[in-house]
């Protein structure tokens, strides 16, 4: 049986994404993204499911850098609709609620509901952990913001569903592996790369010129500039196309001319959510 890793506690959104993608696997939670990627790199798990962006909050900090630094590869993407629930112990009524526990991102994504109901916000390490905390403390005046899965796992009740500010709140996950996978399919394919530009004027601009010349659509470009002195800027780039295609080969060849280092992280089928 495959071992699939995710960051967080049972009932977290990462756990839900991991179950959706690999329903027949053994699922293991890790305390941090660093611990998760270490476990994959060292062979303790077969694959990892990791969030990299949210439609409301933007990029998940540090995730792209870890993929590069731990020498890992992307084999798939997955979009999870984040449907936040107001969760409480079974003996708690909605009018009893005075404070709400959750991860900072979840609290921010449900700010309108929280303010409308005059609830005190209590920052917690993880959405599912906040539900677990309610049960351990047998809290009567507290509630948590988390997934329906978390309520099921910890034996709590859902007081209200879909309390997020934006009903289309979505988190994008990627599946990580120790080995690179280049998709056989040619259409509807996304390729992810990581590269470091040479220290010459307009290197970033020139590195992208081949994509414009070849008419290749860029989906994402993100920069990572180290704080240390003389640190070199790193770039994460996603585009539509397969590295086996001639026009993609030409664009990558031009990029490599202006890059000190370039690594293809993988190509994979584009999910319909896009």
pLDDT for position 226: 66
Structure-block tokens of residue 236: 């994460």
By CB atoms closer than 10 A (0-12, 13-18, 19+), residue 245 is: middle
Q: How many other C-beta atoms lie within 10 A of the C-beta of residue 56?
A: 15
Q: Which of 180, 235, 189 is nearest to 64 (CA)?
A: 235
pLDDT for position 158: 97
Burial state string for 159-174 with b = 16 or more CB within 10 A and e = fewer than 16: beeebbeeeebebbbb
Task: Give the span between the Cα atoms of 66 and 30, in whole angstroms.
Answer: 15
DSSP β-ladder status, 259-269 and 189-197: antiparallel
Domain boundaries, the chain: 3-81+170-177, 85-160, 189-269
Query: Hey, which bits of 185-258 come out as E strands?
Result: 189-197, 218-224, 234-240
Q: Which of 157, 138, 147 is nearest to 94 (CA)?
A: 157
| 85-160 and 189-269 agree in CATH topology | no
| Mean pLDDT (10-residue bins), the chain, 274 residues | 94 96 96 96 97 83 85 96 96 92 93 96 94 90 96 96 93 95 84 92 92 96 73 87 95 95 94 71
Task: Give the span between the Cα atoms of 96 and 132, in whole angstroms.
Answer: 19
Q: Which CATH superfamily hosts domain 85-160?
A: Periplasmic binding protein-like II (3.40.190.10)
pLDDT for position 210: 96
Element (H or E) spanning 103, and its range? Answer: none
Q: Give bridge partners of residue 259 from the DSSP assignment.
A: 197
> Could you say which architecture CATH assigns to the domain 189-269?
2-Layer Sandwich (3.30)
Give the CATH number of domain 3-81+170-177. 3.40.190.10
pLDDT for position 65: 84
What letter would DSSP give residue 24?
T
């Amino acid at each position: 049986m495959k071992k699939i890793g995710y960051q967080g506690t049972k009932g977290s959104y990462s756990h839900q994404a991991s179950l959706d993608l690999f329903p027949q696997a053994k699922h293991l939670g890790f305390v941090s993204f660093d611990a998760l990627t270490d476990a994959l790199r060292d062979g303790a798990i077969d694959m990892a499911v990791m969030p990299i962006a949210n439609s409301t909050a933007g990029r998940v900090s540090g995730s792209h850098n870890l993929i590069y630094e731990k020498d890992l590869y992307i084999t798939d993407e997955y979009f999870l609709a984040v449907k936040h629930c107001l969760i409480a112990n079974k003996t708690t009524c909605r009018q009893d609620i005075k404070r709400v526990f959750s991860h900072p991102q979840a609290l921010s994504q449900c700010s309108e509901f929280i303010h409308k109901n005059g609830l005190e916000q209590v920052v917690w390490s993880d959405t599912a952990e906040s539900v677990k905390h309610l049960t351990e403390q047998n809290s009567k005046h507290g509630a948590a913001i988390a997934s329906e899965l978390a309520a099921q796992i910890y034996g709590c009740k859902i007081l209200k569903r879909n309390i997020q500010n934006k009903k289309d709140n979505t988190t994008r996950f990627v599946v990580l592996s120790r080995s690179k996978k280049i998709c056989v399919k040619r259409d509807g394919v996304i390729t992810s790369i990581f590269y470091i530009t040479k220290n010459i004027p307009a290197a970033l601009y020139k590195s992208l010129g081949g994509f414009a010349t070849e008419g290749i659509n860029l989906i994402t470009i993100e920069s990572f500039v180290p704080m240390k002195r003389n640190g070199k800027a790193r770039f994460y780039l996603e585009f539509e196309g397969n590295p086996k295609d001639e026009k993609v080969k030409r664009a990558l060849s031009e990029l490599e001319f202006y890059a000190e280092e370039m690594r293809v992280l993988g190509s994979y089928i584009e999910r319909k959510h896009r």
